[in-house]
Amino acid sequence: MSAYRGRFAPSPTGPLHFGSLVAAVASWLDARANNGEWLVRIEDVDETRTIPGAAETILRQLDAFGLAHDGEVVRQSERKPLYQAALERLRAQGLVYRCRCSRKEIADSALPGAEGAAYPGTCRELRLDPSVPGSDRVVAGDLGDFILKRRDGLHAYQLAVVVDDAEHCITDVVRGADLLDSTPRQVLLQRLLGYSTPRYFHIPVATNAAGEKLSKQTLAPALDPAEAGAHLAAALDFLGQPKPTVTAPSRLLEQAARTWDPARVPRQPAIPVQI
């Protein structure tokens, strides 16, 4: 496909905070500035972290902030057969093996890899039966073999996101720099599965004064829709974009899309903000 297709993929672990708004705004602006589509995908593949009602709250927030999406909202929890089919394709190629190592065992035996500590392939040659309790790992060389399906039966993020991006013909992925380490793994899976690789653009993540990424775990406050204009203006400032001259969310975003310049986005991986 030559047309631009972007996406925003929040995890439903709580309402949107400033850090997630920055990611949403950057991906929305990049799509609209390129006359492209902007899809929303709820990344609830890890059901153990899903907060009931959080997905609906996020969708209401996006609507209140004027961040209109194209097409139907996709939920990973409804797409498990697709992830399993991709896993079986890799297994049929002899690229997946069963792993029974615990987290402690992996930490104790990890080797230096291209992206930090790497799993050394302890179980790779054991040829364990698929019925053996454990996780499924893909052979990934210098990256370190990584998990595609967890021992609790849930498919891993790396596999799910690659399948989803391919199924929805995503051409461009705009996301936080905290996911830089995931990109080589996802590119590897794309190649193994015969998928196209999107263009990636990683933006700085917003952190608190202690240098921690804003998240539910670090007590980042939820966004108030009544202050949408102010929050959007702050997100544009964070992204190095021109100051808006209007305050209504929809008009502000339209103006920002006309002046969107990725070259103005700061190149550092993280930027502290006051919350």
Amino acid 110: pLDDT: 67
Closest CA to 147 of 90, 79, 108, 196: 90
Contacts of 5 (CB under 8 A, 6+ apart): 31, 36, 37, 39, 168, 169, 170, 171, 172
pLDDT digits 0-9 by tens, 94-109:
999 999 988 788 777 7
- Annotated catalytic sites, by residue? 216
Class level of CATH domain 80-157: alpha beta
Q: What is the pLDDT of residue 206?
A: 97
**Side-chain-facing half-sphere of 264: CA atoms under 13 Å:** 14
Distance between CA 27 and CA 199 in Å, rounded?
12
- pLDDT on residue 116: 55
CATH code 3.40.50.620 region(s) in the chain? 5-78+169-186+198-272, 80-157
Q: Provide the phi-psi class of 90: left if phi over 0, else alpha when psi is between -120 and 50, else beta.
A: alpha
pLDDT at 130: 80
What is d(CA 229, CA 260) in angstroms, rounded to the nearest whole number?
17
pLDDT of residue 1: 44
Which residues are registered as beta bridge partners of 200? 173
Q: DSSP per residue over 65-100, as a string? A: TT----SPPEEGGG-HHHHHHHHHHHHHTT-EEEE-
The fold adopted by the segment(s) 5-78+169-186+198-272 is Rossmann fold (3.40.50)
Q: Are 175 and 31 in contact (CB under 8 A)?
A: no
> What 8-state DSSP symbol labels residue 213?
B
- From the first residue on, what is the mean pLDDT of each consecutive set of 10 residues in the chain (275 residues)? 87 95 98 97 95 96 97 97 98 95 78 64 88 91 89 96 98 97 96 98 95 89 94 98 96 98 97 88
